[in-house]
Chains A and B, each alone.
Chain A
Amino acid sequence: MSSQNIFILVFVAFCIWYLSNQAGRLDRLHHRIDVAELALHGQLLRRGGIVAELAAVPGIDPALSALWGQAAHEVLILSEVASPARTQVEDELSEILVMTLGDQDEVNEIRSIALAASLLDELAQVSTRIQMSHQFHTDAVRDCLEIREQFLVRFCHLAGFAKPPVRFALADEFPEFLFN
């Protein structure tokens, strides 16, 4: 075999290795996004559950109860994971929480109801987790898009049939008085 042939062979082998490597990276990143999305979804549903429970606590102001119950219901009946509809109901719930728990005195008053105190603690915890989960999901999407946008990756169709990942545009707003 002439040296030229060997050179071409090595070059082709390198190309195959490189492309396969990039495809592997993309596959792993898509997988990471899937898991991140499910983790975030799980935490969001958990928040919906906690708020629904909070709405049902005896002794809570009926107006609050109705607001929370309705918003939590919207969250819990939606089956889609990451979608504009999901973003909308979650943001509405966040907004209602910020509005109703936006005052230290109000939070203290609700805390004085026996069953509500531990639920508020759980709500604070799940809010922290949602914030982090959201951050990690956004990180994963960014890492993935960075590779998907490379010329060779697009040209060789390395992403296959995997849909381009989308950022989950949640408003990360949580009532700060919960955390004390």
Chain B
Amino acid sequence: MRIGIVCPYSWDIPGGVSAHVNDLAQALIRMGHYVSVLAPAEFDELLPDFVVSTGKPRAVKYNGSTARLSFGPLVARKVSKWIEEGEFDVLHVHEPLSPSLSVLACWAANGPIVATWHSAMDRSRMMLTLSKLGQTAMEKVSARIAVSEAARATLIKHVGGDAVVIPNGVDVSSFTKATPMFGWPGQNMSIVFLGRGDEPRKGLEILVDAYTQIRKIFPNVRLLIAGPGEPADTLEKLSKVDRSSVTVLGMIAPQDKPSVLASGTIYVAPNTGGESFGIVLLEAMASGTPVVASDLEAFKRVLDFGRAGITFENENSDDLAKVVCQLLGDEAKRTELIVQARLRAAEFDWNVVANEIVNVYESVRVPGVKVEPDLTGQFMGRLARGRITPEPRGEL
């Protein structure tokens, strides 16, 4: 199958959506499909050969953070050209409501279009305005995918209609062969935290509060903190001795993530909210590190309601301390969790997930019908356009 994928966010800066598109494209190529990805990118020479750049993106404030997006008539021409030359069977756009390449691609194309929603926003007015703006684009989308139940709920509430839920994938193989960092977890046990240290909803503060209590029962336990953002303010609460048992790594490269996750006896995700899926939980699970996470709906789902990991009461550091201490003292339980977690993580392997996405492609495409440029935006095009009449054909 020839598949065109549109990533609205800059390829230069690592982010959830571009990582998703990259992994998906590679999984599809492994399956033998032809894939071309259209994305804004500044540095052409660094791109993998399946990515086509639309040039340098502009910084736009969107959904609470700065997104680098491409927009404008010049970009629109590039999009049309890419669609015309690609002869795709299916066009797959990501995050189609952001004012971006994805909307441009929907406007410029006609034929089987699949759209994936990533974010679970709860900003009704913004969504409403955007959905009115993008209405003509949305009406062309034949199939909708949401990456989580939360994203699906946002879609139903603000845009209407329904979507198939297909979760994010994890590249399980790169995590299963992870080796811990040198000297970790070592003779003593350790706890790993991954995420922004200075963002309250990531919950480092709750972990730090619990850590004091854990150290009272397991005095040799260590804490490993990785991720951007300076956690110093939060760590000030700890006593001197406790503080000296904490290692702060700062921002880590994506290729180091498996070994950081494998360096813990336990991985703790104390996030207080705003998580729509919890991919990092799956990564820890694939690395063979038992997971303790707050009892957010999304996390409970990923942990298969307790079978593949343990949850504690959200924002309750006493409960977190209790759960972690129980697990640190019970090696049999940890071994059992590791086995269950590995099985669970395998269900989210990219090969499995990509297969489900191909099912969606197949359910909208018709052999012989290609995605073609839509000329209705141009006056002459509207007059000239004839309707394509595909041959109905069953594959027997």
A residues engaging B (CB < 8 A)?
A: 20, 24-25, 27-29, 31-32, 34-36, 38-46, 48-49, 76, 81, 125, 128-130, 132-133, 135-136, 139-140, 142-143
Contact = CB atoms under 8 A, between A and B. Distances in A.
Nearest to B164: A132
Interface stretch (B136-144, B213-221, B253-261, B273-281): B136-144
Interface in B341-379: 359-360, 362-367, 369, 376
A27 to B, nearest CB: 8
Contacts of A76: 394, 396
B165 to A, nearest CB: 12
Contact of A28 (B139, B366, B367, B393): B139
Contacts of A27: 376
A36 B395 contact: no
A43 B363 contact: yes
For chain B, the bracket of interface size reads 20 to 34
A99 B17 CA distance: 43
B168 to A, nearest CB: 19
Contacts of B396: 45-46, 49, 76
A16 B235 CA distance: 65
Given A24-B382, A81-B392, A39 B112 contact: yes
Q: Which of A28, A35, A139 has the most CB of B within 10 A?
A: A35
Given A28-B110, A143-B161, A133 B139 contact: no
Interface residues of B, dominant DSSP: loop
A144 B310 CA distance: 47
Given A39-B364, A129-B362, A139-B161, A46 B395 contact: yes
B364 A42 contact: no
B195 to A, nearest CB: 35
Interface residues of A, dominant DSSP: helix
B394 A35 contact: no
Contacts of A49: 394-396
Given A28-B136, A32-B139, 12 more contacts: A25-B136, A28-B140, A34-B390, A35-B112, A38-B366, A41-B392, A43-B363, A46-B394, A81-B392, A132-B359, A132-B360, A136-B142
Contacts of B360: 132
Given A24-B376, A129-B359, A132-B359, A42 B143 contact: no
A132 B139 contact: no
B222 to A, nearest CB: 43
A35 B365 CA distance: 7
A132 B162 CA distance: 11
12 contacts: A28-B140, A35-B142, A38-B390, A39-B364, A39-B366, A43-B363, A45-B395, A45-B396, A46-B396, A130-B363, A132-B359, A139-B162
A36 B364 contact: yes
B107 to A, nearest CB: 11
Nearest to A129: B363
A133 B367 CA distance: 14
B387 interface: yes
A36 to B, nearest CB: 6
Contacts of B144: 139
Contact of B366 (A20, A42, A130, A142): A42
B111 interface: yes
B298 to A, nearest CB: 23
A132 B357 CA distance: 11
Nearest to A126: B362
Contacts of A81: 392
B363 A132 contact: yes
A36 B161 contact: no
B364 A136 contact: yes
Interface in B71-128: 110-112
Interface in B137-182: 139-140, 142-144, 161-162, 164
A39 B139 contact: no
Contact of B390 (A35, A40, A45, A142): A35
B162 A31 contact: no
A133 B143 CA distance: 8
Contacts of B140: 28, 32
Given A132-B360, A135-B162, A38 B143 contact: no
B164 A42 contact: no
Contact of B139 (A36, A46, A143): A143
Given A129-B359, A132-B360, A143-B161, A42 B139 contact: no
Contacts of B362: 43, 129
Nearest to A45: B394
Contact of B359 (A41, A48, A128, A135): A128
B159 to A, nearest CB: 11
Given A35-B112, A38-B369, A136 B363 contact: yes
A39 B395 contact: no
B385 to A, nearest CB: 9
Q: Which of A38, A140, A142 has the most CB of B within 10 A?
A: A38
A136 B115 CA distance: 12
Interface in B208-265: none
List the 7 closest A-B pairs by CB distance, nearest first: A45-B394, A49-B396, A133-B363, A132-B363, A38-B366, A129-B363, A136-B143
